[in-house]
Amino acid sequence: MQRPSSTNAVAQPICARSQTTDGSRSSSALEVARGLLDRLFPEAPTGNVSFQLWDGSPWPDEKPRPATIVLKHPDSLSEMFASGTEIGLAESYLRDDFDVAGDIETACELGDTLADSKRGARFRAGCTLLRLRLQDSARALGRRLSTVARARATRHSLERDRWAIGFHYDVSNDFYRLWLDPRMLYSCAYFKSEGDGLGAAQSEKLAHICRKLRMKGGQSLLDIGCGWGGLAVFAAKHFKAKVTGITLSKDQASFASQAVADAEVSDDVKIHIRDYRELPDSEDYDVIVSVGMSEHVGADNLPEYFRKAFRLLRPGGVFLNHAIGDGVRARETRGRSFIQDYVFPDSDIPRLPIVLAAAESAGFEVRDVENLREHYTHTLRHWVQRLEAKHEAALEFVKEPTYRVWRLYMAACARGFAQGRLAIYQTLLVKPHACGTSNLPLTRGDWYRQ
């Protein structure tokens, strides 16, 4: 599948905050900038990323490359690299110190270079040589989390988790509708081939999950973190399930309830705004599913998360937990995180052994683990392409910095999954009967039987 092209063309330089009446200063600034780029990126002539300076001139040459960093003003490089950190670079993009034309996923190579501590130090040292005046370095970025917001409640308390979920998901249903598939599925699709469309791959993901759960007519299904209701409606329509879906997002619950009504499955699907911890232990379900929700639980709370699911599941029942985790090539991060500050506050993606240990400590038996990371790479590339194509339409519902947050985070995640720094695990767990039987067949053949 070809990578998407950005809608942001390079045709005309944008010189906001770059005008100067001093022609010699402007010329000197361009020379300093080119010299700094020569030192910071000696491999650029053979690389995939080029720069366009604020006067429209290219660096290192005019050779077409997949991605072009468009500098908006003479202080762009200082704003971008002086901190020597990935989040500093991301915040510079959000402030419009620079834009990305072409493939933003390729442009994320810049963040990879900053992850190297020696390279980061070189960036900081190089930027001190820029004799350019920094301006408005404390400009507000809109979505950045304030200290007050972070301190509003204990981390992963009921109150704070509601706020954290709302921060990400209650942005605008109309905004999400622009680039998600018609079912509004905001999780990894399942591609039978790289050329599959997003809608078809998302439908196949729902079928794949239901086959893994071995859904049967009349079974009760608990969907923890039901999102906009796509899986709940699918399970009710195609597998005759009785579904309870829970979410902490008011926008999602409203959309999901309408989707249930539109699909004429109101008798079989109930949507509630509720935390999983608030479900009474007296309720019990034949099967449980959680897709893209446990990342919000926190590693320290995973044992209780799985204990709660274990109590709610009937003996012989299965629980499918679909969640992002660190890949085998994950790198250690220190300090502030772009994802934490601008995208998913309080999110956590522990390594798989931590998740499995927490599940087993609750009494679950691990029966299958599938890593779908390549599928998430393809999914994210579809989302980025669709979002870029609807840039102008998106600005009717969100401001430019919010659009840039989503564009950047999804492109960076696509790169992370492609490189193996991120993984997406579907883990199938069973609650055995007291005698040890699991009610499971001997093979997985039924999962792939069409």
Pairing mode of beta strands 58-59, 49-52:
antiparallel
Q: CA-CA distance, 210 to 3, in Å (whole number)?
A: 30
Q: Tell me the residue type at 253.
A: A
188: annotated active-site residue? no
Contact 8, 407 (CB under 8 A): no
Q: Tell me the residue type at 264.
A: E
Sign of the C-alpha dihedral computed for residues 257, 259, 264 and 268 taken in this order: negative
CA distance between the termini of the chain: 25
Q: CA-CA distance, 130 to 36, in Å (whole number)?
A: 8
Q: What is the DSSP letter of 116?
A: S
Between vectors from CA 257 to CA 212 and to CA 385, what angle results, nearest 5°? 70
Which whole-number Å values give the CA distances from 395 to 175, 390, 403, 432, in the listed order?
9, 9, 7, 51
Question: Which is nearest to 292 in space by CA: 426, 429, 428?
Answer: 426
Grouping H, G, I as helix, E, B as strand and the rest as coil, residue 328 is: coil
Cite the DSSP H helix spans in 49-157. 76-81, 86-94, 104-107, 109-115, 117-127, 147-150
Question: Which is nearest to 246 in space by CA: 228, 226, 230?
Answer: 226
Q: Give the burial class of 435: count Cβ atoms within 10 A of its Cβ; 0-12 exposed, 13-18 middle, 19 or more buried.
A: exposed
Q: Which of 108, 127, 188, 413 is catalytic?
A: 413
Question: Which is nearest to 237 in space by CA: 262, 213, 255?
Answer: 262
Sign of the C-alpha dihedral computed for residues 100, 67, 111 and 296 taken in this order: positive
Active site residues: 413
